[in-house]
């Protein structure tokens, strides 16, 4: 901030949700001098949060939405193939149809996915640098690793089959280096030799432990003066169109502003302030292979598995899968077994040891809108309540800019990026 720039009047702000987006919002609001309370029923950085279980990638290239032209042709197959990267449980299909219809429509034309790619790029383009700065500030610089990201393909033809996705990345200022088989072997000798072509995203980075990172950011916010209130938000006390308090299962928290950053649980809170957001859980799974026989020099995404493979402090994390079903449905741990099979096929050194390895299994909820963009900005029914949820596959990477944007809007500053593409009014 410029020393002569006038600070906005401090406000009492309750941030509902202490995941990565909520933590980033809290830190940015504290910079502006506001009085911040983080509200969450669970421990920050715990296994219940989507930000705990992601692939740990910080990629400016994550601008390609899940819904792309032609996807509708593949959906019937996803109902029958339990080994595909995306599966839909038959029993949940009727309740998912409104989301699925809008999801397919969002990717029905190149123009639509181009618009979404631009919107995501604004949140992601400097994500690694912003996370390095946040980690340094929070005293955990070692949790952000900047060695690049590798997309591995069997051959150039497999890469060219994804031409639209890579064109979207190029159009949004993502650059990369092509690697041949020899260069791949030199960089990641553990990869199976069927991978003969790769893309090296040199500006990419990763997090060595997402759960510990979120916990560290929350500790940093508390050290800067925030409070942490462990309770569950149940609604809002609104009087004459203005916010008086956030209601919780342990009483009311008086405040002038509130931020809904509760991930998949944000939908009901948003509805209580006038917004019917079309959002479902894209359930994701990961496995962590403890004490693997190697450590990857950098994270890898094998094109045939569509999984994020990252060496973390806990072990080799294999993350991926999209399962669409009811929010409260039991996990399908065969999805985790599929990830283990992919890992054994991708890294020959694992093939003989994976059966006896200690393995952690996790399932969580990506809060996913139909167009792949988060919801950021004021609620329709009360301008004192702000949305900051629905980040889908890019919550970790996009959190710093999302937090800055929300803080800018609350503080009445020129926003860091144009908020229009993320407006709740698009629903």
Domain count, the chain: 1
Nearest CA-CA partner of 344 in 191, 199, 198: 191
Angle of CA points 323, 59, 121, to nearest 5°: 95
pLDDT at 286 over 60: yes
Q: Which of 163-177, 266-280, 341-355 has the lowest mean pLDDT?
A: 341-355
> Mind listing the pLDDT tens digit for each residue in 241-259?
999 999 999 999 999 999 9
Question: Sorting pLDDT into bands at 50, 70 and 90, what band is 5?
Answer: low
**In angstroms, rounded to a whole number, what is the distance separating the alpha carbons of residues 353 and 343?**
11
**In angstroms, rounded to a whole number, what is the distance separating the alpha carbons of residues 399 and 123?**
8
Nearest CA-CA partner of 288 in 309, 265, 264, 258: 309
Asked if residue 82 is part of any domain, the answer here is no
> For position 417, which CATH number holds?
3.50.50.60
**In angstroms, rounded to a whole number, what is the distance separating the alpha carbons of residues 264 and 261?**
9
Question: Quick one: what percent of the chain has pLDDT higher than 90?
Answer: 90
Question: Quick one: what percent of the chain has pLDDT higher than 70?
Answer: 97
Q: How confident is the model at residue 394, as a pLDDT?
A: 97
| Domain, as residue range, for 196 | 12-69+112-426
Based on DSSP, count helices (H) and strands (E) in the chain, helices before strands.
14, 21
Q: How confident is the model at residue 6, as a pLDDT?
A: 60
User: Average pLDDT, stretch 257-283?
Assistant: 97
Q: How confident is the model at residue 353, as a pLDDT?
A: 84
Asked if residue 253 is part of any domain, the answer here is yes
Question: Sorting pLDDT into bands at 50, 70 and 90, what band is 81?
Answer: confident
**Element (H or E) spanning 260, and its range?**
strand 257-260
Return mean pLDDT, the chain: 95
Nearest CA-CA partner of 135 in 145, 126, 125: 145
User: Average pLDDT, stretch 66-82?
Assistant: 80
CB 205 within 8 A of CB 146: yes
**In angstroms, rounded to a whole number, what is the distance separating the alpha carbons of residues 13 and 393?**
27
**Element (H or E) spanning 296, and its range?**
none
CB 284 within 8 A of CB 320: yes
Q: Which of 7-16, 31-40, 118-127, 271-280 has the lowest mean pLDDT?
A: 7-16
Asked if residue 96 is part of any domain, the answer here is no
Output the 3-class SS for 203-215: CCEEECCHHHHHH
Asked if residue 324 is part of any domain, the answer here is yes
Q: How confident is the model at residue 83, as a pLDDT?
A: 72
Asked if residue 254 is part of any domain, the answer here is yes
Q: List 87's β-bridge partners, or say none.
A: 323
Q: List 12's β-bridge partners, or say none.
A: 35
CB 78 within 8 A of CB 104: no
Query: How many residues are there in the chain?
Result: 427
Asked if residue 370 is part of any domain, the answer here is yes
- Which stretches within 189-265 are classed as H helix? 210-223
Tell me phi and psi for residue 159, to 5 degrees.
-65, -45
Q: How confident is the model at residue 72, as a pLDDT?
A: 79
Q: How confident is the model at residue 288, as a pLDDT?
A: 97
Q: How confident is the model at residue 85, as a pLDDT?
A: 79
Question: Sorting pLDDT into bands at 50, 70 and 90, what band is 7?
Answer: low
User: Average pLDDT, stretch 104-116?
Assistant: 96
User: Average pLDDT, stretch 106-122?
Assistant: 97
Sign of the Cα pseudo-torsion (191, 52, 48, 313, in order): positive
Q: How confident is the model at residue 352, as a pLDDT?
A: 85
Q: How confident is the model at residue 254, as a pLDDT?
A: 98
Question: Sorting pLDDT into bands at 50, 70 and 90, what band is 2?
Answer: low
Asked if residue 91 is part of any domain, the answer here is no
Angle (deg, nearest 10), helices 20-31 and 395-411: 30
Q: How confident is the model at residue 355, as a pLDDT?
A: 79
Report helix, strand or coil for 251.
strand
Q: How confident is the model at residue 335, as a pLDDT?
A: 92
Q: How confident is the model at residue 419, as a pLDDT?
A: 98
> Mind listing the pLDDT tens digit for each residue in 331-368?
999 999 999 999 999 999 998 888 788 999 999 999 99
Asked if residue 97 is part of any domain, the answer here is no
Scan for tokens 């397919």, then name that residue: 104
């Amino acid at each position: 901030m410029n020393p002569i720039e006038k600070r906005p009047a401090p406000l009492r702000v309750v941030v509902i949700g202490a995941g990565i987006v909520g933590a980033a919002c809290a830190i940015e609001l504290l910079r502006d001098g506001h009085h911040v309370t983080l509200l969450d029923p669970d421990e920050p950085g715990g296994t219940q949060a989507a930000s705990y279980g992601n692939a740990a990638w910080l990629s400016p290239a994550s601008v390609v939405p899940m819904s792309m032209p032609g996807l509708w042709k593949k959906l019937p197959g996803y109902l029958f193939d339990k080994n595909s990267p995306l599966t839909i449980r038959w029993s949940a299909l009727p309740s998912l149809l409104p989301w699925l219809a809008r999801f397919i429509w969002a990717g029905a034309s190149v123009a639509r996915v181009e618009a979404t790619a631009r919107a995501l790029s604004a949140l992601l383009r400097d994500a690694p640098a912003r996370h390095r700065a946040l980690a340094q500030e929070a005293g955990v610089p070692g949790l952000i690793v900047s060695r690049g990201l590798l997309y591995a393909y069997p051959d150039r033809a497999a890469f060219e089959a994804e031409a639209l996705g890579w064109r979207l990345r190029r159009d949004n200022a993502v650059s990369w280096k092509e690697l041949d088989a020899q260069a791949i072997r030199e960089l990641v000798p553990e990869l199976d030799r069927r991978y003969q072509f790769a893309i090296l995203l040199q500006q990419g980075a990763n997090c060595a432990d997402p759960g510990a990172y979120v916990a560290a950011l929350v500790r940093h916010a508390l050290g800067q003066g925030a409070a942490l209130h462990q309770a569950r938000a149940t609604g809002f006390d609104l009087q004459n169109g203005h916010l008086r308090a956030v209601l919780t299962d342990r009483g009311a928290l008086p405040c002038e502003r509130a931020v809904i950053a509760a991930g998949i649980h944000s939908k009901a809170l948003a509805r209580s302030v006038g917004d019917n957001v079309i959002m479902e859980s894209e359930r994701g799974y990961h496995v962590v292979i403890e004490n693997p026989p190697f450590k990857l020099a950098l994270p890898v995404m094998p094109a045939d598995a569509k999984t994020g493979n990252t060496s973390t402090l806990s072990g080799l994390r294999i993350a991926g899968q999209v399962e669409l079903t009811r929010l409260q449905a039991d996990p399908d741990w065969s999805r985790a077994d599929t990830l283990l099979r992919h890992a054994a096929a991708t890294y020959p050194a694992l093939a003989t040891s994976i059966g006896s390895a200690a393995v952690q299994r996790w399932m969580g909820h990506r809060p996913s809108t139909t167009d792949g963009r988060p919801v950021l900005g004021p609620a329709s029914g009360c301008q004192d309540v702000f949305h900051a949820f629905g980040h889908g596959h890019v919550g970790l990477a996009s959190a710093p800019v999302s937090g800055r944007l929300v803080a800018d809007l609350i503080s009445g500053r020129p926003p860091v990026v144009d908020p229009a593409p993320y407006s709740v009014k698009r629903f």
